[in-house]
Structure 1
């Protein structure tokens, strides 16, 4: 009796452990899959229906007939080993549909859904009752916790390793079941045993070939690289790839075609974090300066040209404000940069002799800006690699405690747009009030935002800034004039200039010294008066009535900015596919709308 009881207890414990292992493995796979396709589809489109696919596949597995455990393990192991390839190639071809809903959904259906289905089937095969309890407890949804762990440990680039490891575990268990079953069969024989062992080993050999053979590997770079990598099929060079907080931070270059053929996109060095293009500059023959002045160089002496995005230069118009005492005297002593990117604005402030403090959440972004984009050393105690919300709050506490080391800033550039949206916690009224405390009473802040003017998110950003600072003026970065219809239908960059000063904001005309020998700066800063966007052009006029304004003022307790930005994230994704060739989309996942910046404003360049 005691032996039977112990055996039953051991069987129950083994079943429980097996089901928990399957659940944990599935959550691990889903987390790795999610982070592997986000660079192609961006976070919002990727996650839109991912949960629906998981739940639908789970429900389907509960009601369909089950294969044997060994067959499920064999199929599951093969699916997992193929995941680095299927997630890449199916994702690449699905992306060519240029649909932010169906493209990721197709990828989920062909890559994620089969793994979920067979994983749940395996759990049900072990113990249907216990599996249902585990599923009901939502054990399959450990993704948020695992994603947090991945981010904290910078494991995003290890997705292929996770796929391979899970696949090998499944095939190893499959082999053990087959061998153990052969030993305990009713008619064991040496021939049957050899056949069983061979059948068990073949999948493991397949796994080794798939993982180790360069010709069979997934074309994605799965590990950090420090030596340049050149694509054998496209004029693309990856200078650096680093696992970090915001994903895999990549510095790459699109080179001129080796055969001299015409292509609309080349001679660009860019900085990317996961799906987000953080900025870039022209290189090679596209480098040109006013008066043939020596160009900026990176740490290796390579010449760097203008920014590929004009919005970063438009932010520098904060120096042109002349309605404040500092502005009239040209005495901007301290600047704060929140969101570094490639460091275009930070470098400009340094060249103008302004002491600049940088707050950037990702250390790899800062390192890339210093090494590959010519960012000068900001000096000791001027770089803070952390989330801006906590940093600004701690600085406010220092100011209120009258700490002599607490600096009040004359100008602030706030540029946190990334991958189709902005972090909502950096756009709430509480954040702006904290920031206003560390701003000089006559200081000016430049806030970059991208979207449609008619959108709720654009209205919310402006309404919240006006509530916090009292006055703002908005400008766009387009090279050519924009019609009223385009304002409301096109995805555009807007820079809001705001100040708590009681004096209405005015800007002086730009002069030669403001251009820093840059054709792009000359074009953008000298045409500032033609770029202004009136408040009434941003959304419905009713926003400015007291009855409806409360809907749009963002607070920590009531902040729907991320929800409002979903549609714009889809629009941003589609724009990227329209502007970038398919081949460079697959290799780079670059951003949109930058080629015209140099061509239009630099057409007089030698």
Structure 2
């Protein structure tokens, strides 16, 4: 306390900032900026490393709030009367290089910790201590010996940290996986190198075991025979994997039941039976059977009666997955365009799930595509008789693709007698479901909503009603029905025979009622849907853990 009192007295007798900054002080400030920038890289690296184990939303739920608290605590810590018994900067490269190994070890406890505490505990051991020592070192490097000046500097450096963190995410997201250094394991090694340049020390030698483990033995970081040996104990084999702009993408195959799935972080984008599913071995397959029925229900756009007048209809698919619905449309001669943000998803759908080649793929953001095509007023202006909108993953949807503005853009691409099918999964008891349905109904006409299956209990009494549903809408206000599928529609598929025709319609007025008008989603209130989906994502984590065993999610 005496030291703090003396420093406060000195600050009152000194100017807010020194009149001149010598070379040594400028160098110290430069080092401080580099340290914070490196911590920003580690913040992003930590998030993408935990997403395959806990999902993107649970991982980020409290990351920013805890990081802000750690930042403030570390800056205040420099005023304490005692100092750390070591030079904090010398520990930073060592801690950074041990992060992948620590995360690999802690991931094995994810099933017992759950999606709420798991990310907090893991980053409490790995990232937050690193952030504390980084900010602590920065505060000492940027010390002006003046409380007023230090307060201003603290605010400037805090803003610097958050802005750089945002820029790192923005500029790296589309480069993740392009080289080893730009991966969830490569970035901590990059950060360790930068930390070591700022503060070289012989202590760095203690990180050699971590470097060897990351480069040779850590299955999360490098292909190892041990990974498939571990997965084989649960009857799975990893066929391919790569980090990409939407997350960690991999292809897994069950060795005994012969189904194959496409994984994105802590979610599944789809899957197929490589041979007829158990109990149907006698059936001659026309096409590979999907493991999820909801994807074939999207193909029911072809069953809408009356159908579009164009004898050669065109289709647009927003979101690809493994291409189940897209392949179904192509098989019926429908000229199909696909808009998929992730190039690896498209690559793996083609290589491992037999996505038909005769389609046009646009590997870009759907908002960019829709705006560009609507601005095209020439003869090449696109119009579609069928639009499929399926972008659900990780217990959530990209909120920007569920706004009124985006749906208006899709409506303008839909022909006058066309039909759109929108897939959404979630708890119908939550506000998000009602707002999404009502936003869609505000833009389109003739909307009918079908759930994947009948609820297991009375929906009026149930506390939770989680389901997959498809919203079918048209531009016209004329009523329509769905014709019964014929053999040609089925494509020799068991799933299509049982689930292509929409069966379980939701009475929207009865289910949602009219009290408490829903929030119509738009670009101005997009954060509303993002907030609502936090609860849904935590629930989805528990559901998806029952689809594949925990060891599969933890060993990637």
TM (norm. structure 1) is 0.79
Counterparts in 2 of 1:497 and 1:57: CA distance versus 1, 3 Å: same
Structure 1 Cα separation of the partners of residues 280 and 314 of structure 2: 27
Tell me, what secondary structure is at the counterpart of 2:525? coil
Query: Post-superposition shift, 1:131?
Result: 6.7
| Corresponding position of 1:472 | 447
Counterparts in 2 of 1:68 and 1:47: CA distance versus 1, 3 Å: same
Query: Post-superposition shift, 1:441?
Result: 0.9
Kindly tell me the number of residue pairs found equivalent between the two proteins.
522
Counterparts in 2 of 1:406 and 1:245: CA distance versus 1, 3 Å: same
| Corresponding position of 2:514 | 541
Pairwise CA RMSD: 3.0
| 1:505 paired to 2:480 | yes
Structure 2 Cα separation of the partners of residues 476 and 93 of structure 1: 35
> CA offsets per residue over residues 237-266 of structure 1, 9 Å max, x none?
22222332212322222323xxxxxxxxx5
Structure 2, unmatched stretches of 5+, are 1-17
| 1:118 paired to 2:140 | no
> CA offsets per residue over residues 317-369 of structure 1, 9 Å max, x none?
1111113454xx9x462111110110000100111111111111111111111
Counterparts in 2 of 1:312 and 1:78: CA distance versus 1, 3 Å: same
| 1:271 paired to 2:262 | yes
| Corresponding position of 2:364 | 386
| Corresponding position of 1:364 | 344
Contact kept? 1:453, 1:537, Cα under 8 Å? no
Tell me, what secondary structure is at the counterpart of 1:493? strand
Counterparts in 2 of 1:322 and 1:29: CA distance versus 1, 3 Å: same
| 1:558 paired to 2:497 | no
Structure 2 Cα separation of the partners of residues 84 and 233 of structure 1: 19
| Corresponding position of 2:218 | 218
| 1:101 paired to 2:116 | yes
Tell me, what secondary structure is at the counterpart of 2:538? helix
Counterparts in 2 of 1:128 and 1:577: CA distance versus 1, 3 Å: farther
| Corresponding position of 2:333 | 353
Contact kept? 1:172, 1:204, Cα under 8 Å? no
Counterparts in 2 of 1:18 and 1:221: CA distance versus 1, 3 Å: closer
Contact kept? 2:53, 2:110, Cα under 8 Å? no
Query: Post-superposition shift, 1:411?
Result: 1.1
Structure 2 Cα separation of the partners of residues 117 and 168 of structure 1: 19
Counterparts in 2 of 1:136 and 1:6: CA distance versus 1, 3 Å: closer
Contact kept? 1:281, 1:307, Cα under 8 Å? yes
Counterparts in 2 of 1:352 and 1:481: CA distance versus 1, 3 Å: farther
Structure 2 Cα separation of the partners of residues 465 and 430 of structure 1: 10
Counterparts in 2 of 1:228 and 1:437: CA distance versus 1, 3 Å: farther
Query: Post-superposition shift, 1:457?
Result: 1.0
| Corresponding position of 1:238 | 238
| Corresponding position of 1:307 | 290
Structure 2 Cα separation of the partners of residues 346 and 389 of structure 1: 20
Aligned pairs for 1:422-501 (under 5 A) are 422-478=397-453, 483-484=458-459, 489-501=464-476
> CA offsets per residue over residues 55-81 of structure 1, 9 Å max, x none?
222222234346469532343333212
Contact kept? 2:70, 2:131, Cα under 8 Å? yes
Query: Post-superposition shift, 1:424?
Result: 1.9
Contact kept? 1:287, 1:306, Cα under 8 Å? no
